[in-house]
């Protein structure tokens, strides 16, 4: 291969070989002619890989494969240059030029001269053996004394000069031999290049000398071609090139250098110190005192490759690279990178805008590369998941992130957490998927993954905690509305049943009284009148209950503030319930100390609540069961009142439902236990109005306990505690296990 590492040490060869810009010359047949070390280094190719006649297409493909984009610059001979815009690394020293090719030294030439001398009459008077060989003649063809014309005839007949150029050469010798000094160059038939000189002698004779200069001519032609090629390269390279010799003087620069460095004049022979000082004074290197700037610039070590950027006074940005040359001197390469710097500034600006945009977006965003490593993310991701900042640095692998989340218990513990981590590791990111997740911090997120070109993907997280809570609230509100609608239906069904019964009695007995009206003193009149009175009171009671519900729901439920003897109140409630308990064959017991304190309350409303609770206990206890009512002052000062029964009980999930208005846990018209479903609702409202609480605890089939707790601030005084009293009411029966059943609200 012909390349700059095997060329002669002509100055141009050394310059091109030392250039940090990769250059290759392609001939008109699209084949490689030569490539400098920077070009081969950029391709990562040892010398054996690029060889002479390598197709240009293969070289371009190799450059593109390394991410390089070689620029093609046409040459006058039909070929072109390949210039790598990004040169090889400055850390690599260019290969030194090889030794000159052999056979061009003067010692090798002088021994090859042929000489022939002629007398004034044209006869040969001297010749050496070499002249015959150079002129294409046999040694014996030239003899002493032979006429000059005879020698010319021998030369013409030899065939070495049969070409038009050779015939012209012979004719020139015949014309006026020896009249003046002349030198001709001729190519023989065998391809040799001869330089033939005729010189006059003092006696009007002449000499002919011939010398084979084929080697020198080839070297000269090659040097000339290389010089022309160098000129083409330097003119075509899109970089400014300035060469300093070992004395640090300018010996060469190309037109591009002058164009890039417009306004900074330069001449061949300028010393680098003059160049730097002149430019420092002109502000070429930026603001500052000229002497200090000059000292700073001269301090750069040009014995090793250097690279830097700066902004020129005219606003253009340039890239400066210096490379030392073998044997001393250096090359300075300058490139106008104003568009590149502007593009970089634009990229930086857009990156900052993107960063600002990502930071202000309320969604968490993570961009992943095809290698499953994080490319970018915003701070929202860290806030949503509690990730430490170092975990969201670019380059973090997906596996490391999943491991950290698993370790921090993001998905809990055990097999469930392992399964979630495994699902994420095996997820196919080439397709879009969405899901909703709940973080360990309680945030509800909509997660979405979308593929990106190149095999990566982008994941977005949207915090929908508030929306989720709102949706949940709407769902509960819907359920409440539906429950209210159902309660209305139950109310209508209940009232239609509960009101129909006393109304039927009123209507029926009033009809009967009408029929008995003509029979005064009939014994049935008093009975019918009593039934009508009872039915009317029952209707009035239902109406009062409904009015109480209306007052409670409208917030107009006013309570009196009376000083009440709670012992007396509880005994009164128990006495009122005796008849119902006795009729149901239930044992009723009242247990409380005589010295209970006075309390501040609405006596009628508190009695109403206690009566309703005790009535419920009796209603839902089978014959033979027990109901007890009691009270005591807690150590903390609160007053506790309880009603305990051995009735059918209430399932745990139904305990709160029992307090809903118009609610019975058995809502059919054929239900076993009658009632409007308002008793416990009103009782809790009345007790809450006193600042107290009412709660139920129950075991199905074993009974229920209603516990009322009034705050200590309602207690007015304390009395010395006396022996507890116990009253048994109703007909005693042998104890038997209560029957199991479903508890009702009223």
Shared-domain flag, residues 631 and 717: yes
Mean pLDDT of the chain: 79
Instruction: Tell me 320's DSSP state.
Output: E
For residue 352, tell me if it sits in a domain. no
User: Tens of pLDDT along 373-405?
Assistant: 998 888 888 888 888 888 888 889 999 999 988
pLDDT bin (cut points 50, 70, 90) of residue 15 is low
Choosing from 543, 569, 603, the residue where a domain stops is: 543
Rounded Cα distance between 12 and 10, Å, is 5
Shared-domain flag, residues 628 and 676: yes
Question: Are the beta carbons of 216 and 233 closer than 8 angstroms?
Answer: no
Question: Are the beta carbons of 206 and 213 closer than 8 angstroms?
Answer: no
Rounded Cα distance between 337 and 479, Å, is 70
Shared-domain flag, residues 331 and 367: no
Shared-domain flag, residues 473 and 506: yes
Question: Are the beta carbons of 740 and 700 closer than 8 angstroms?
Answer: yes
Choosing from 459, 484, 511, the residue where a domain stops is: 459
Of the chain, the end-to-end C-alpha distance in Å amounts to: 110
Four-point Cα dihedral 260, 266, 268, 273, nearest 10: -120
* Mean pLDDT, residues 544-566 taken together: 73
Shared-domain flag, residues 535 and 564: no
Nearest by Cα to 430 from 455, 404, 400: 455
SS3 (DSSP) at 284: coil
Domain count, the chain: 6
Percent of the chain with pLDDT over 90: 22
For residue 741, tell me if it sits in a domain. no
**Pick the residue with more confidence: 493 or 219?**
219
**Pick the residue with more confidence: 516 or 253?**
253
Shared-domain flag, residues 669 and 566: yes
Shared-domain flag, residues 486 and 422: no
Four-point Cα dihedral 474, 475, 477, 482, nearest 10: 140
User: Tens of pLDDT along 627-683?
Assistant: 999 999 988 889 999 999 999 988 888 888 887 776 665 544 334 455 556 778 888
Question: What pLDDT shows up at residue 332?
Answer: 93
Shared-domain flag, residues 579 and 505: no
Residue with tokens 């000129």: 231
For residue 89, tell me if it sits in a domain. no
Q: Tokens at residue 386, please?
A: 């509690």
- Residue range of the domain that includes 527: 469-543
Rounded Cα distance between 89 and 418, Å, is 49
Shared-domain flag, residues 328 and 249: yes
Lowest average pLDDT, out of 14-28, 577-591, 657-671, goes to: 657-671
pTM for the complete prediction? 0.40
Shared-domain flag, residues 53 and 149: no
Would you say residue 250 has pLDDT above 90?
yes
Rounded Cα distance between 23 and 13, Å, is 12
Rounded Cα distance between 498 and 570, Å, is 29
**In CATH, what number is assigned to the domain containing residue 604?**
3.30.565.10
Four-point Cα dihedral 167, 170, 172, 174, nearest 10: -130
Choosing from 183, 218, 253, the residue where a domain stops is: 218
Would you say residue 47 has pLDDT above 90?
no
**In CATH, what number is assigned to the domain containing residue 136?**
3.30.450.20
User: Tens of pLDDT along 447-469?
Assistant: 999 999 988 999 999 988 888 88
Rounded Cα distance between 199 and 391, Å, is 93
For residue 549, tell me if it sits in a domain. no
For residue 232, tell me if it sits in a domain. no
User: Tens of pLDDT along 125-150?
Assistant: 888 888 988 888 888 889 899 998 88
The DSSP element (H or E) to which 655 belongs, if any, is none
């Amino acid at each position: 291969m012909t390349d700059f590492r095997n060329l002669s040490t002509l100055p141009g060869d050394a310059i091109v070989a030392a250039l940090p810009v990769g250059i290759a010359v392609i001939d008109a047949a699209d084949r490689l002619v030569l490539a400098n070390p920077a070009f081969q280094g950029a391709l990562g190719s040892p010398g054996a890989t690029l060889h002479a006649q390598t197709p240009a297409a293969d070289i371009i493909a190799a450059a593109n494969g390394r991410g390089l984009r070689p620029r093609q610059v046409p040459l006058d001979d039909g070929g072109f240059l390949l210039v790598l815009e990004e040169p090889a690394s400055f850390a690599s020293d260019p290969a030194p030029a090889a030794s000159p090719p052999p056979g061009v030294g003067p010692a090798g030439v002088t021994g090859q001269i042929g000489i022939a001398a002629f007398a004034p009459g044209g006869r040969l008077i001297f010749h050496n053996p070499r002249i015959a060989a150079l002129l294409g003649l046999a040694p014996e063809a030239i003899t002493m004394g032979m006429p000059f014309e005879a020698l010319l005839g021998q030369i013409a007949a030899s065939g070495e000069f049969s070409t038009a150029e050779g015939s012209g050469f012979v004719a020139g010798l015949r014309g006026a031999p020896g009249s003046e000094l002349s030198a001709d160059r001729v190519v023989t038939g065998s391809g040799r290049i001869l330089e033939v000189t005729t010189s006059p002698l003092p006696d009007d004779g002449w000499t002919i000398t011939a010398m084979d200069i084929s080697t020198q001519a080839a070297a000269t032609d090659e040097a000339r071609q290389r010089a022309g090629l160098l000129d083409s390269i330097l003119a075509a390279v899109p970089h400014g090139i300035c060469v300093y010799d070992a004395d640090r003087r300018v010996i060469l620069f190309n037109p591009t250098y002058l164009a890039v460095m417009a306004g900074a004049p330069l001449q061949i022979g300028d010393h680098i110190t003059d160049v730097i000082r002149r430019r420092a004074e002109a502000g070429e290197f930026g603001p500052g005192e000229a002497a200090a700037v000059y000292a700073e610039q001269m301090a750069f070590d040009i014995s090793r490759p250097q690279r830097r950027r700066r902004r020129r006074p005219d606003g253009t940005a340039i890239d400066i690279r210096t490379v030392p040359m073998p044997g001393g001197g250096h090359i300075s390469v300058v490139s106008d990178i104003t568009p590149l710097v502007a593009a970089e500034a634009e990229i930086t600006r857009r990156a900052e805008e993107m960063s600002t945009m990502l930071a202000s977006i309320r969604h968490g965003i993570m961009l992943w590369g095809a290698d499953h490593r994080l490319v970018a993310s915003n701070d929202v991701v860290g806030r949503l998941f509690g990730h430490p900042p170092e975990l969201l640095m670019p380059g973090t692998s997906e596996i490391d992130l999943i491991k950290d989340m698993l370790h921090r218990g993001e998905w809990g513990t055990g097999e469930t957490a392992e399964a979630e981590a495994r699902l994420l590791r095996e997820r196919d990111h080439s397709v879009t998927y969405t899901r909703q997740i709940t973080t360990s911090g309680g945030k509800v997120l909509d997660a979405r993954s979308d593929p990106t070109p190149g095999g990566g993907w982008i994941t977005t997280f949207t915090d929908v905690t508030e929306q989720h809570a709102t949706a949940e609230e709407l769902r509960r509100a819907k359920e409440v509305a539906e429950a209210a609608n159902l309660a209305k239906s139950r109310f209508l069904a209940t009232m239609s049943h509960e009101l129909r019964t006393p109304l039927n009695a009123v209507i029926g007995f009033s009809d009967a009284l009408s029929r008995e009206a003509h029979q005064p003193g009939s014994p049935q009149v008093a009975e019918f009148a009593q039934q009508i009175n009872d039915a009317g009171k029952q209707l009035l009671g239902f109406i009062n209950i409904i009015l109480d519900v209306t007052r409670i729901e409208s917030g107009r439920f006013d309570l009196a503030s009376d000083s009440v003897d709670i012992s007396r109140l509880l005994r009164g409630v128990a006495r009122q319930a005796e008849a119902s308990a006795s009729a149901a064959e239930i044992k009723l017991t009242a247990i409380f100390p005589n010295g209970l304190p006075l309390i501040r309350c609405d006596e009628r409303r508190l009695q109403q609540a206690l009566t309703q609770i005790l009535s419920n206990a009796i209603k839902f206890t089978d014959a033979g069961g027990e109901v007890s009512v009691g009270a005591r002052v807690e150590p903390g000062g609160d007053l506790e009142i309880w009603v305990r029964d051995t009735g059918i009980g209430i399932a745990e999930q139904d305990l709160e439902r029992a307090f809903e208005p118009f609610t019975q846990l058995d809502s059919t018209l054929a239900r076993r236990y009658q009632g409007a479903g308002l008793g416990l609702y009103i009782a809790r409202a009345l007790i809450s109005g006193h600042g107290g609480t009412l709660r139920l605890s129950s075991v199905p089939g074993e009974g229920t306990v209603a516990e009322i707790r009034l705050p200590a601030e309602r207690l007015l005084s304390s009395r010395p505690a006396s022996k507890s009293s116990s009253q048994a009411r109703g007909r005693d029966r042998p104890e038997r296990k209560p029957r199991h059943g479903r508890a009702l609200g009223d």
